[in-house]
A and B are shown apart, each in its own frame.
Chain A
Amino acid sequence: MKSFGKNFVSWIGSVVVFSMLMCISSTAWSEELLVYTALEDDEIPGYLELFKKEHAGIDIKIVRDSTGIITAKLLAEKDNPRADVVWGTAATSLMLCNQAGMVQPYAPKGLEKVRPKMRDKAATPAWVGIKAWMTGFCVNTIELESLGLPMPADYEDLTNPAFADQLAMPNPASSGTGFLTVSAILQSMGEEKGWDYLDRLHKNIARYTHSGSKPCKLAGAGEVPVGISFAYRGFMQKKKGEPVITVFPKSGSGWDVEANCLIKKDTIKSSAKLFLDWAISESIMKEYGKVYPVTAYDSGQPVPDGFPANPEEQLVENDFDWAAKNRVRILAEWSKRYDVKSDPK
């Protein structure tokens, strides 16, 4: 009880020191590899485990979000990029980044094995694919039956008035799955017919979601009987015990390549290149192949259960250049037409 004044000052002092320490400890960056990815949350841990086994010394920090958000984040950080590499993110998005001059072309080890369709054409490619992901309808069989709805087989079936208010679809502005589906529809039907189709589809949509997996999860929970999503999601939800099956539209699935690229920075870490080499190595390709039938090169895995016997034929003709060039225009048009459906249902 000597002096309360001194105690008070020293107490204030320790609060200040403490708060400074707090700030310092959370700003101090350890040397680590910052990876941006749009791969699914439930894929990543398995893949990373493999990486850790092969490259124990490298500390990987993952930032994972929907394709649209990762893209926007990358573009927003253009002047001061944070990410070292981008992993498993839509090729159309990486093309945008490349146009913005953010990509450092790099030829990872094993590039020669990669299918020509699944990599940038330049000799030292800006982006290299790892696998393709494609549109699939997640159909809840129990709900479909109890609502007395026909099993949809193709895009056109979804515009059947019986499906009014029974569909969920991802918003293409934030979801890569949403964008590849819209892009495939516009490419295969032609723009005029494509927008007309989307207008009719819009009448049946109960909600547009932020992410590409949510429609499938909504279907799995019975909140909607049918969700327009992507194939992998349908298989995973089924595995979890939800009564969903994945339907591949007869006239072909929209698809995009999940690809990697190196971000242009003042100092490019050697571990970044190492990571990109690993990301198309044979061991990881086997992992991708377990759940994705179309991989950068043949993974040697059998086609996963439930996919068409020849999954490559399921993919529609897709002009990535066209999609990347027109992305902004398509999204603006889409938002104008459907984004803000302001009237209550």
Chain B
Amino acid sequence: MSADLLHEADANQARASDPKASAWVSANAGTGKTEVLVKRTLRLLLDGARPESILCLTYTKTAAAEMQNRLLKELAAWATMPAAELQTKLAKLMGRPPEDQDLSGARRLFARALEARGGLKIHTIHGFCERLLQRFPLESAVTPHFTVLDDRDAALLKRSAFDTVVARAAEDRNSMLGRALDTIITVAGEEYFRQVVDTVLGKRAELDRMAAYHDGLTEWAEAEGAALKQLFGVAEDTEDALVAELASVLSDSEIDAALSAFASFGSTTDDARTEEGLRGAKGSTGEARAAALKAAFLTADGNPRARVVSAASRRTRRNLPRHWPPPEPRGRTRH
């Protein structure tokens, strides 16, 4: 059985390392992924690809170094191996018996790989990007000998930028920045806001894209607002309007119907709370009604209650829907 598994593994590796196929390989640690990559590169080189024309990208510098070392080790062995051994190796790799030029070509690969123009291109993704930027200083608008900012310096720069902007906002409270700051301080302390800014900075590419899609940040904010309103089925967004809408969610007759339904089926704590809320709402108006309905259908945090009607009651009375009425919009107020 295990021989079969090995055979299968070998076959999979062979398929994955076939340079003619584009492949996506997923495997557990230690099962030979690097091996597959090395084999694939070797086969490419044997097929006649120039070492300079192969690009390997890895995530870590360790992986890049490891890959390069394994590749060169194999090629070094080929250069000086006795002919018979080399033949077997190549046969296994190429899937066919090697010809004379294959053998001599294989022997030369070591030197060719070592002397590849610009070195073997096995880089980390970051390294590759850095090289690109260095190669095209005018297009990337970066001077050729730049250094990459490390995390600590980046944090210091961000901090200083944050302080500058915040100071400017504080200076002129009527400017756009000042008004934005006024909005922020009502809901956030400085630490939390700093974290928010950090997160936003991390996603600024996406933000730019969205803003461009909507022709601008303000337009986008408005579009988002409209979309949210639509999602929650809310027409207004002033506090009074919300309260009024909340209050009008159930009419008195509907409340009566619900109360009578509860009355006939007894109640658990869930039901009792709903009942109490409904009773409080009936006959009252405006804020009081809204508050009573809130108590009936929402938890203290403003989220919809998981169970408005207890399971037992629902079982016995089928046409009481599980979640009614529709969930409230959680407006900017504390209501």
Are A and B co-members of a single complex?
no
